[in-house]
Amino acid sequence: MRSDLVQTHIERNRETKCLSEAYTEHRDRIMQLIASTATDLADDTGRKCSSIVLLGGGNCLDVDLPAVAELFEVIHLVDLDESALDSVVNAHPDHANQLRIHSPADIAEPLLSLVNGDFLPEEDNREHCVRVLQALSSENGIADVPEADVVVSLCVLSQMIGSLNALIGEDHPTFVNALKALRVGHLRRMLSLLRPGGVAIFVSDIVSSDTAEQLMTATTEQMPELVKTLVAEKNFFSGTNPSVILAELNVLSRLATGPDTVHTIDPWKWNMGERVYAVYAFRIQKKMPVGDEPATDVAND
């Protein structure tokens, strides 16, 4: 993996390590999603779900790790930053036997091992470029992480898109195709990590107060309408439009191992100190094996 791209991610973790208190509302909303999902999936005996995968675990500020440990027997932490995950394990010795570390891991492999030339669409490089896009959109890439009951993507899509931007920039002729491949690949990899009937919780930031100052003062009740307005005004991070992601999930629902249902979650605020982000989520349940029955359409609440 390229050290410059990895270092950007590590530095971001260092900068946010002290923001646990600021994350409170963001963490509470994610924990509500995780807890309700674990309750839905638990059997009638009240046993814990077997496992959860946290993609982009980092400093684990997005979750209440002891509370997660009460809900799941095993917690898989996946991130580029091995030192951050080691610090998390050291900070939670009572739950160390439940934690499994997968790091350094490129969740969008092979993204962080690529160079600008890999994306050149010229004739003598076209076949290679196609293979790169196919690899980015594939469901493979996160090694040694077993199937789980729940998989949570903790605002990592925008970080992956940031790495893509650093590689080729939005003006590059292959950027749009690479962005779509990256996004679809992330959704497919979440689904591939789920057992049949398991649930993926896709969480993504969509815009910050840098371009939407209204976020600084918006109330929880105002957030759905505000985000809807910002999307209509095309004021959002490249590749994070929830309508586009929902459409891609609808396409994936045609696969036997695709989504059975998708529920949209109202957006909320994520306080990052001097900057505030708007965040939304999808709750995606994977299909159970149904033989040759036709796939169902994705539902949208």
Q: Along the 301 residues of the chain, how does pLDDT read in single tens digits?
A: 888 999 998 998 898 888 889 999 999 999 999 999 999 998 665 678 899 999 999 999 999 999 999 999 999 999 999 999 999 999 999 999 999 999 999 999 999 999 999 999 898 999 999 999 999 999 987 888 999 999 999 999 999 999 999 999 999 999 999 999 999 999 999 999 999 999 999 999 999 999 999 999 999 999 999 999 999 999 999 999 999 999 999 999 999 999 999 999 999 999 988 899 999 999 999 999 865 444 444 444 4
Relative to beta strand 275-286, strand 99-102 is unpaired
Task: Give the pLDDT confidence score for residue 47 in this predicted structure.
Answer: 72
Task: Give the pLDDT confidence score for residue 300 in this predicted structure.
Answer: 44
Is there a contact between 295 and 267 (Cβ–Cβ < 8 Å)? no
Residue 103 to residue 31: CA distance in whole angstroms: 23
Is there a contact between 257 and 287 (Cβ–Cβ < 8 Å)? yes
Cα angle at 34 between 28 and 69, to 5 degrees? 95
Q: In 3D, which of 59, 67, 3 has the Cα closest to residue 30?
A: 67
Q: What DSSP assignment string belongs to the chain? A: --HHHHHHHHHHHHHHTT-TTTTHHHHHHHHHHHHHHHHHHS-TT-PPEEEEEEET-TT-TTS-HHHHHHHEEEEEEE-S-HHHHHHHHHH-GGGGGGEEEE-S--TTTTGGG--GGGG--SGGGHHHHHHHHHHHHSS---TT---EEEEEEES-HHHHHHHHHHHH-TTSTTHHHHHHHHHHHHHHHHHHTEEEEEEEEEEEEEEETTT-GGGGT--TTTHHHHHHHHHHTT-S-TT--HHHHHHHHHHHTTSTTSEEEEEEEEEEEEEETTEEEEEEEEEEEEPPP-TTPPPPPPP--
Task: Give the pLDDT confidence score for residue 232 in this predicted structure.
Answer: 96
Is there a contact between 117 and 93 (Cβ–Cβ < 8 Å)? no
Task: Give the pLDDT confidence score for residue 267 in this predicted structure.
Answer: 97
Give the count of beta carbons closer than 10 Å to the beta carbon of residue 233. 11
Task: Give the pLDDT confidence score for residue 253 in this predicted structure.
Answer: 96
Residue 25 to residue 28: CA distance in whole angstroms: 5
Task: Give the pLDDT confidence score for residue 221 in this predicted structure.
Answer: 96
Task: Give the pLDDT confidence score for residue 296 in this predicted structure.
Answer: 43
Q: Which residue has the tokens 């690479």?
A: 178
Task: Give the pLDDT confidence score for residue 48 in this predicted structure.
Answer: 81
Task: Give the pLDDT confidence score for residue 291 in this predicted structure.
Answer: 59
Task: Give the pLDDT confidence score for residue 274 in this predicted structure.
Answer: 86
Task: Give the pLDDT confidence score for residue 278 in this predicted structure.
Answer: 97
Largest CA distance in the chain: 61
Residue 14 to residue 37: CA distance in whole angstroms: 30
Task: Give the pLDDT confidence score for residue 297 in this predicted structure.
Answer: 45
CATH class of the structural domain 3-279: alpha beta
Structure tokens at 209: 């107060």
